[in-house]
């Protein structure tokens, strides 16, 4: 247990160090995931998948809650002097939680802007011209109530809707 605690010790360090180590480890994981995808034709697990890098805060929370925190809580029962290490884990967990919530708020705001409230009229922007817009007077243009009704120029935004 002590060897594992030493190996995972960065999670107990101040935020700047802990975050930097998490990013370095993640970059190594991404390299492994890239090899799994290219050489073995496998879909890598989330933590190894560069295409899911925006999920790092949620993955860190899982790592802390599932592995790191229980380990250091067990060690704390053996030696109460390890409390500062557990405090460091809690402080870093709070920072990852803030990042996770911030990402979720941004994702929700973006998704909700794509799905207006019923009865809310959304007009295409001036730079989006369709034959329908050109032929109908402004007051006769349709209102949009679902994503499938929206007219996009040449691109669409895709957001991962995986639970955190």
Q: Binding site for Zn(2+): residue ranges? A: 7
Sign of CA dihedral 124, 125, 131, 137: positive
Contacts of 62-67 spanning 24+ positions with Cβ under 8 A:
63/11, 64/11, 64/89, 64/92, 64/93, 64/96, 65/93, 67/8
Rounded CA separation 66/82 (Å): 19
Structure tokens at 97: 């939680």
Question: Which among 100, 81, 89 has a CA at the least distance from the CA of 65?
Answer: 89
Whether residue 120 contacts residue 14, with contact meaning beta carbons closer than 8 Å, is answered with: no
How many Å is the maximal CA-CA distance in the chain? Answer: 78
Question: Which among 108, 117, 96, 97 has a CA at the least distance from the CA of 159?
Answer: 108
CB count within 10 Å of CB 110 equals 11
Known binding positions: 7
């Amino acid at each position: 247990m002590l060897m594992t605690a030493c190996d995972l010790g960065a999670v107990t360090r101040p935020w700047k160090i802990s975050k930097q180590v998490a990013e370095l480890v993640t970059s190594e994981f991404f390299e492994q995931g890239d090899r799994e995808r290219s050489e073995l034709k496998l879909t890598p697990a989330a933590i190894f998948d560069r295409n899911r890098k925006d999920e790092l805060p949620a993955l860190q929370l899982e790592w802390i809650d599932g592995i790191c925190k229980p380990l250091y809580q067990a060690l704390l029962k053996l030696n109460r002097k390890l409390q500062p290490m557990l405090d460091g884990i809690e402080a870093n967990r709070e920072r990852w939680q803030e990042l996770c919530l911030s990402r979720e708020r941004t994702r929700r705001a973006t998704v909700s802007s794509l799905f207006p409230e019923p009865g809310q009229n959304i007009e295409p922007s001036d730079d989006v011209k369709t034959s329908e817009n050109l032929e109908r007077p402004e007051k006769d243009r349709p209102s949009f109530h679902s994503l499938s009704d929206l007219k996009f120029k040449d691109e669409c935004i895709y957001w991962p809707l995986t639970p955190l």
